[in-house]
Amino acid sequence: MHIHEYQAKTLFSQNNIKIPKSILISNTKEVSNACLELGGSTWVVKAQVHAGGRGKGGGVILCRCVKEVENTCEKLLGSQLITPQTDVNGLPINQLLIEVGQNIKQELYLGLLVDRQTQKITVLASTEGGMDIEKVASETPNKIIKFGIDPLNILNKQDCNSIAKQLNLANALAKQFNQTLLGLYNIFITKDVSLIEINPLVITAKNTLLALDSKIDFDDNALYRHEDIMQLRDISQEDKKENEARQYQLNYISLNGTIGCMVNGAGLAMATMDLIEHHGGSPANFLDVGGGTTADRVAKAFELIQTEINIKGLLVNIFGGIVRCDLIAEGILQAIEKVGLILPIVVRLEGTNAAQGLALLSKSKYNIYTEKNLTQAAIKIVELSV
C-alpha cells in the first residue's frame, strides 16, 4: 500500500526526521492563510498523488508570491496529474501540500528496501539525489552506495557513520544524517515497510538536512497489524478495478495487452500469461480467482475482464483440484448469462470432472471453444484475438 507524501512526512517527523514546514490544503480559499501561517517568501505547491515523477509532470511548482500560489492551486486542484510513473489518465489531485521554499545546496538520495538477493534490509544512498536518480542508478551505478544490514543485528551508529563518510558528509551533517537514517530504519522495522525513500534529502544553505520528499510502500501482507497505517489508505489513488476485485477476493491486475485471463492460482496465472506471450499474444490482465471459486466471483471476474480497454479475447484456465470443473463450467455459464459474452472465449479445464465440465460448455448455446490442453488453448486464443 502507498501513502501520500504529507502522510509519510508526518511519520518522518514523529521519528526525528527533519521536514520543511508545510500545510495541506484541499481548497484554494485556504491558500492565503496557509502562506501567512507558513511565512517565508517562496512556496512550493506539491500535488498529493500516489506516484513519483511529480516534478517532471508539473505537480511540484515553485511560487514566488501568494497570488502565484493561489493560481497554481486553482489550476492543480481537481485536475489529473500525469507523470512518467502514471498511466495516460494520471491520478486525481484532491489535496496539495504547500511548503516553505528551501534554499538548496545539494540533493542527496536516501532509501531502505528489502534486497531479496542478499536477503537483507539494505540502505541505498547517493550524493546524486533528485529527479534523475533512476538515470544515475542505471548509467552510473557506482554512485549508489549500498549497505546491507545484518538481519540478526540492528542498524547502529557505526553503520550510519560509515555511510555518512562514503557520502563525504562533514561532522555536523553526519550527525543529522545519522538521526535521519535511524528514523527511517525505525519506521521501516516497526511498520513493516517494503520501501522507504527520501529523494531529495537536501542540504540547505544553512547546512541543515531536510527531507524534501517522502515515499513509503507498506507490505500489504502485514497491514492487518497496523490499524494506524490502514487508516491512511486513499482509494481515490488506486485502480478502481483492482479495488473492486479485492472486495470479491480476486487478485486482479490490469495490464496493457489484448487477451483477458481468468485463472485459478497465482502460479498457473503466471504460466498462462507466459504461454500467451510465447505464442505471440499479450495478456490484458493478471487474475487469480482463488481456490474455492464461486459462480458469483467468476461473474465478477468476467465483468472486470470484459471492460479492459484493449480486450479482444478471453482465456479461462482452471485446474480443478479442490474445486470441481463441472461446477466451474456452471459458474462460467451463469456468468455469461448475467454479464453477456462479447468476446471470443477459450476455456481450458483440467483436473476433477474436467470432461463433464467441458461437455457442459460445448453443449451450451454459447460459442465457447473448449480445450483440454493448455498450449492448444493459448494458441487458439491468440488466433481468435486479432
Residue 225, C-alpha cell as written in the block? 497489524
301 binds, among Mn ion, ligand GDP, none (CB under 5 to 8 A by kind): none
Nearest to 285 by CA among 250, 330, 235: 250
The DSSP bridge partners found for residue 80 are 92
Q: Is 55 in the site for ligand GDP (CB under 6 A)?
A: yes
Separation CA 29–CA 366 (nearest Å): 58
> Contacting ligand GDP (CB under 6 A), which of 213, 234, 308, 350?
213
B/e letters for 54-63, b = 16+ CB within 10 Å, e = fewer, are bbebebbbeb
Q: Is 359 in the site for ligand GDP (CB under 6 A)?
A: no
Contacts of 339 (CB under 8 A, 6+ apart): 299, 302, 303, 306
109 vs 319, beta carbon nearer ligand GDP: 109
Report the DSSP pairing between strands 209-211 and 193-204: antiparallel
Least distance between Mn ion and beta carbon 159 (Å): 24
The sign of the dihedral angle between the CA atoms of 69, 72, 77, 81 is negative
Structural contact between residues 71 and 43, judged by C-beta atoms closer than 8 angstroms: no
Distance of CA 234 to the CA centre of its chain: 12
Q: Is 188 helix (H, G, I), strand (E, B) or coil?
A: helix
Q: Is 210 in the site for ligand GDP (CB under 6 A)?
A: no
Give yes or no: 197 in active site.
yes
Q: Which of 6, 109, 248, 252 is catalytic?
A: 109
Least distance between ligand GDP and beta carbon 99 (Å): 6
237 to 276: interface string for ligand GDP, x by CB under 6 A: ----------------------------------------
Residue 237, C-alpha cell as written in the block? 489513488
Separation CA 219–CA 116 (nearest Å): 14
Q: Is 197 in the site for Mn ion (CB under 5 A)?
A: no
Least distance between Mn ion and beta carbon 213 (Å): 3
Residue 36, C-alpha cell as written in the block? 501567512
Q: Which of 197, 308, 350, 371 is catalytic?
A: 197
Separation CA 313–CA 86 (nearest Å): 26
172 to 201: interface string for ligand GDP, x by CB under 6 A: ---------------------------xx-
> Contacting ligand GDP (CB under 6 A), which of 10, 38, 53, 219?
53
Q: Is 176 in the site for Mn ion (CB under 5 A)?
A: no
By CB under 6 A, the residues from 125 to 164 that bind ligand GDP are 130-131
* Contact stretch for ligand GDP (CB under 6 A) within 99-107, 111-119, 166-174, 177-185: 99-107
Separation CA 107–CA 213 (nearest Å): 11
> Contacting Mn ion (CB under 5 A), which of 99, 107, 213, 234?
213
264 binds, among Mn ion, ligand GDP, none (CB under 5 to 8 A by kind): none
| CA distances from residue 8 to 2, 60, 113, 325 in whole angstroms, order as listed | 9, 17, 16, 47
Question: What is the distance in angstroms between the CA of the first residue and the CA of the last residue of the chain?
Answer: 36
DSSP H/E element including 338: helix 325-339
17 vs 384, beta carbon nearer Mn ion: 17
Q: Is 199 in the site for Mn ion (CB under 5 A)?
A: yes
> Contacting ligand GDP (CB under 6 A), which of 8, 25, 35, 44?
44
Least distance between ligand GDP and beta carbon 4 (Å): 11
By CB under 6 A, the residues from 269 to 308 that bind ligand GDP are none
Task: Summarize as ranges the residues that interact with ligand GDP (CB under 6 A).
Answer: 44, 46, 52-55, 60, 62, 99, 101-102, 104, 107, 130-131, 199-200, 212-213
What residues make contact with Mn ion under the rule CB under 5 A? 199, 213
Active site (catalytic) residues: 109, 197
